[in-house]
Amino acid sequence: MGESMLLHRLPLRVVLLLCTSVALFSIVTADIVQTTKPGCANRCGNLTFSYPFGMNNTGDNCYFKEKSNSFLIFCDDSTNPPTPYLFDKSTNITIVSTSIEKHEISIMVFVAKDCYNSSGGSSYQNDPSIILAIFPISAAKNKFIAVGCDTHAVFRGQQGSMYATGCLSSCGNISDVINGSCSGIGCCETSIPRDAYQYNISVTSYHNHVGIWEFNPCGYAFVAEDGFFSFSTGDLYNPPLNMVPIVLDWSIPNETCHDAKKNTTTYMCQENSNCTDAENGNGYQCNCLEGFQGNPYLQNGCQDIDECVTLKTCSGKCTNLPGTYDCSCPRGYRGDGRTGGKGCTPIIDRSTHVALGVSISFLLILLGGNWYYWRFRQRKIKRQREKLLSEHEGSIESARIFTDEELKKATDHYHESRILGQGGQGTVYRGIFPNNMVVAIKKAKILDRSQVEEFINELIILSQINHRNVVKLIGCCFETEFPLLVYEFVTNGTLSDHIHNCRHESTLSWRARLRIAGETAGALSYLHYDASTQILHRDIKSTNILLDENYTAKVADFGASRLVPLDRTQLTTLVRGTLGYLDPEYLQSSQLTKKSDVYSFGVVLAELLTGLRALSFERAESERNLSSYFASAIKGERLFEIIDSRVLNEGNPKEIKEVAMLASRCLRVKGEDRPTIKEVAMELEGLMKVMDRHPWVNQSCDLEEAEQLLGERPSKCDGILKSNASGNDDSISNQVPFEIESGR
């Protein structure tokens, strides 16, 4: 089990170290390819190495020779891949990696184990001792680790004199152990002293693992590269490995840097390099000078770095020099030319200074003028808002006034996740007050007088309306530059969502559609005839009809609505509305009447019957506009070919035809030929009462009649661009907001 886990850990680590080595030497200039002496190998199996390391089977001159042959690599070709050993195969020290830049070598060593059976008998496994000739164990890169719940491990070595260190690991229950923690409970670790050339590890137990044998039969200890071992509770029951990697520091032994320089024949550091005394162990190490890179132990091994290519720190002209580089500015510029320094700036004469001063002054005046205009505009808009509010103060007494801070908290500072929808006037957010009341908060998109007027217009109109089928205005906020209106939260989305989205095709039955139509017509009749001042909605469409949890209709969005004195029958206004719903007579004459709302309602009625959008560029050209398509189908006696399949399945052909003829009368081109909305509401109410008294059942004769009339009909999802998950009806392919205002 330990060998299997080792084979899984070791190749990955070797590959990573090899990749690091390749990356290190790949940045050397193109003519530097030699990392060993000419004719000498630099690879054994998966190990790539550089001089002073070398193999003896390619010549004695291929590695640095000293008394113990510490730099000799023995390559065992009998394995696949070949296995590299340090010094000799008999040492059984496998090499994992070597590094010239860091002066490190990584080898594999055994783990010391002390195992017990249920009666407390022990067996000691592996030889955890190691004796190295000239390579000290890296104190900075290794840790001494012990694992077990009844384990005392000691690390003994020699630094001229004997020394010892160790740690104690214990635990009474496996539940006490924390994965990844080596703080003494199940696992402990300590640092390695410097200048340690040999060591021996002993593992003992105080209580022979009695009482914990079931989950911790063995205690074990090892020296390993810091970060290699990650402790887990499973390691207590079964040691996961037999061998671990440790890092050794290497240097040219037995001489200090100062003494080595005195003997030029034995001094190992070649040109463009220098030596430093080893921090761990005795000896010295060679390193390339700043501005050079490569192998400092080989002749011409340290090559110049082309900083102009690798560093790119010049903003001017870069010239590579041995060990350094030079930045200069082109003619007409001055400075050091360095990206992090002064760079290059143009040399400007006095006349240029004057011109530059004038330009800067003009720019400052322009910026100041823009700032002043912006501030003036903000004040003007604020005064206009206050004037509008004061003019209609008596009309909005019933609306609650919210503070800006209240609405920010309710919407989590208008976070994107709170957006319910976006339209031409503004964005609607879902708000939650501290008393858990849920509301919808509309915030204006653009700050101008028309936007303020529209919001105040909606505020004034809704504050005068109290009808169960009109969305309720709760309050408003005018502390901010952007007007804010607070409405009741209507939970079930828009009517458009339910009749045009395939995901909702089973939501609205024929009876529910007829009821929603009647409720909408009733609300419009109230606005036209029963309100204290008659109100023309001017933008009736399926997206402005909301549905609550009981699928009760709520007419919304009164930003474009108009109050009409009782003695007036029409208003001359700028044309407002949505293409597909817009009264053609109003569009041509700009004369807004009650019959304009009747026409828009007729389009909604046609949508409820057919399931088709009011305007869709996905349909054939002759079918794009629903009102003309609907009128054409009735005229050609093809009505039942375009009726929604659910309406056909649930409705009686006679009642469907009655509603269709009502919609057709609402869609007449001349307003005087259309019924009033009160007549429409009464007719729909009468149909509902008949259905309540004499519910029509889809008998076989009705189904046969419908099937004969049905023919091939458009898909219910006709006109929907693959996905409209946002529920937003502002797509040009669906509905086009239309507004004509002179001077705007």
pLDDT tens digits, residue range 231-246? Answer: 999 899 888 888 999 9
Distance of CA 34 to CAs 22, 298, 305, 463, Å?
Answer: 13, 9, 16, 88
Most confident listed range (8-22, 126-140, 445-459)? 126-140
* Least trusted range by pLDDT, from 57-71, 190-204, 385-399, 653-667: 385-399
Nearest to 255 by CA among 234, 274, 238, 276: 276
What DSSP character marks residue 52? Answer: T
pLDDT at 327: 86
CA distance 545 to 531: 19
Token representation of residue 488: 């009741």
Average pLDDT of every residue of the chain: 81
Q: Decide if 718 is catalytic.
A: no
> In the structure, what pLDDT confidence band is assigned to residue 9 with cuts at 50, 70 and 90?
very low
Residue with more model confidence, 339 or 226? 226
Best CA proximity match to 459, nearest among 425, 430, 431, 429: 425
Give the pLDDT score at 176.
85
d(C-alpha 2, C-alpha 111), whole Å: 10
Catalytic residue (one of 539, 583, 597, 718): 539
Give the residue among 228, 272, 314, 727 at the shortest CA–CA distance from 497.
727
Q: Residue 380's pLDDT is what?
A: 63
Rg (CA), the chain: 44
pLDDT band at 653 (very low <50, low <70, confident <90, very high): very high
What local confidence, expressed as pLDDT, does residue 585 receive?
92
Closest CA to 253 of 204, 200, 195, 212: 195
Q: Specify the 3-state DSSP secondary structure of 467.
A: coil
| CA angle 190–195–197, rounded 5-degree value | 95
Q: Which of 69-73, 221-225, 369-373, 445-449 has the lowest mean pLDDT?
A: 445-449
Three-state DSSP class for residue 271:
coil
* pLDDT confidence bin for 490, thresholds 50/70/90: very high
% the chain with pLDDT above 70: 79
Q: At what angle do helices 510-525 and 594-610 cross, to 10 degrees?
A: 170
Joined tokens for residue 389: 């509010």
**Which comes out higher in pLDDT, residue 121 or 98?**
98
The whole-angstrom separation of Cα 16 and Cα 99 is 13
The secondary structure of 686-698 as a DSSP string is HHHHHHHHS----
Q: Which of 291, 240, 409 is nearest to 29 (CA)?
A: 291
| 286 CB neighbour count, 10 Å cutoff | 24
Q: Using alpha carbons, select from 329, 332, 327, 330 the residue that is nearest to residue 347.
A: 332
- What band does 32 get if pLDDT is binned at 50, 70 and 90? very low
* Tens of pLDDT, residues 491-546: 998 999 899 875 545 578 999 999 999 999 999 999 999 887 889 998 999 999 99
All domains of the chain in start order, with CATH: 2-101 (no CATH), 109-248 (no CATH), 257-301 (no CATH), 306-357 (2.10.25), 381-488 (3.30.200.20), 495-563+572-716 (1.10.510.10)
What pLDDT sits at residue 389?
A: 56
Of 428, 247, 44, 184, residue with least CA distance to 56: 44
pLDDT at 65 over 70: yes
Tell me the per-residue pLDDT of 117-128, one tens digit each, with 9 for 90 and over.
Answer: 877 777 766 666
The mean pLDDT value for 63-78 works out to 84
State if pTM tops 0.85.
Answer: no
Tokens (6 digits) for 475 = 């309050």
